[in-house]
Amino acid sequence: MAGTRIDFDGLIDRHLMREQRPKAVGRYYPSEIGKCIRNVWYSYNHPTEIKPELRRVFEMGNILHDFIIEVLRDTRNGDIQLLDAEMPFKLEFGEPDSKFVVSGRIDDLLLLKAGDKKVLVEVKSTKTLKYMRGPMEHHKTQLQFYMYATGVHDGVMLYIDKSTLETKSFEVAFSMDQAKRIINKFRALHKHLTAATLPAPEAKKLPDEKWMCRYCEYADKCAKDEK
Ligand code: SF4
């Protein structure tokens, strides 16, 4: 083997490479609703390749999610029982002349039975739990929508530290007002996409979401209000 160099990073990147299908207007993904509406709009009109670094981050999230499933399947967990993981769902919305569908597999969601209660748990991996005092707004938004869609109104956000496997969890109370606000956001997205009008730069306007702009692949277009 002397002198043989194996490009393991290259092997990992090739292993994680997936064919990306373009998104179709009228079909939206539940995992996107926590994002900036303008960013989602751009992703339909100007799809970009997911970068290898980001694929690895997603894969790490999947690996940790599988680990949590394994933990929850342990038969020594008393009255905590895993009922479902990676739930597929489909919801239809809209007027007869303007229908749209929100569908997809929710990868990071688990349904548990805790005593006699059903609980939805959204699992997110994170670099550190040190400064985490509560769930992040865009994660809460996703969980509100999942609670609305499944009819299970007890929610928990579970964060797991990537390097220590320590966790922090936060209960999230269901709010019908917030669920309606989220559905209206899907409506607005559909309207902007079908009318080819650019939505307002949501993240820029909200103090809690401004950080998203630092990671946005459409920041240049957004700064120029480019369609
Ligand atoms: S730069 Fe910010 S406001 Fe503009 S699309 Fe990206 S996330 Fe949204």
Model confidence over 113-145: pLDDT tens digits? 998 999 999 999 999 999 899 999 889 988 999
pLDDT digits over 90-114, tens only?
Answer: 888 877 767 899 988 777 899 999 9
Tell me what percent of the residues of the chain surpass a pLDDT of 90.
63
pLDDT given for residue 98 in this prediction? 79
- Pocket around ligand 1: residues whose beta carbon is below 6 Å from it? 36, 38-39, 201-204, 212-213, 216, 218-219, 222
Instruction: Give which of 86, 71, 80 is closest to 113, Cα–Cα.
Output: 80
Q: How far is the CA of 200 from the centre of ligand 1 (A)?
A: 9
Helix (H, G, I), strand (E, B) or coil at 60: helix
Asked whether the predicted pLDDT for residue 3 surpasses 80, the reply is no
Contact (Cβ atoms closer than 8 angstroms) between residue 120 and residue 154: yes
Task: Locate the ligand 1 atom nearest the alpha carbon of residue 219 and give its number.
Answer: 1
Using one digit for the tens of pLDDT, what is the confidence trace for 17-38?
Answer: 887 778 889 999 888 888 999 9
Q: What is the pLDDT of residue 2?
A: 62
153 token code pair:
């109104």
pLDDT at 222: 97
| Whether the predicted pLDDT of 170 surpasses 70 | yes
In whole angstroms, what is the distance from residue 143 CA to residue 58 CA? 18
What distance in Å separates the CA atoms of residue 84 and residue 223, rounded to the nearest whole number? 42
User: How far lies 75's CA from each of 78, 82, 180, 199, in Å?
Assistant: 7, 10, 38, 49
Per-residue pLDDT averaged across 183-195, rounded?
Answer: 93
CA nearest ligand 1 atom 2, residue: 213
Q: Distance from the CA of 210 to the center of ligand 1, in angstroms? A: 8
* Chain segment 58-93, per-residue pLDDT in tens: 899 889 999 999 999 888 888 899 998 878 878 888
The class that CATH gives domain 24-223 is: alpha beta
> Is it the case that residue 167 has pLDDT exceeding 90?
yes
The pLDDT-based confidence of 214 (bands split at 50, 70, 90) is very high
Instruction: Please name which of 81, 99, 101 lies closest in space to residue 91, comparing C-alpha atoms.
Output: 101
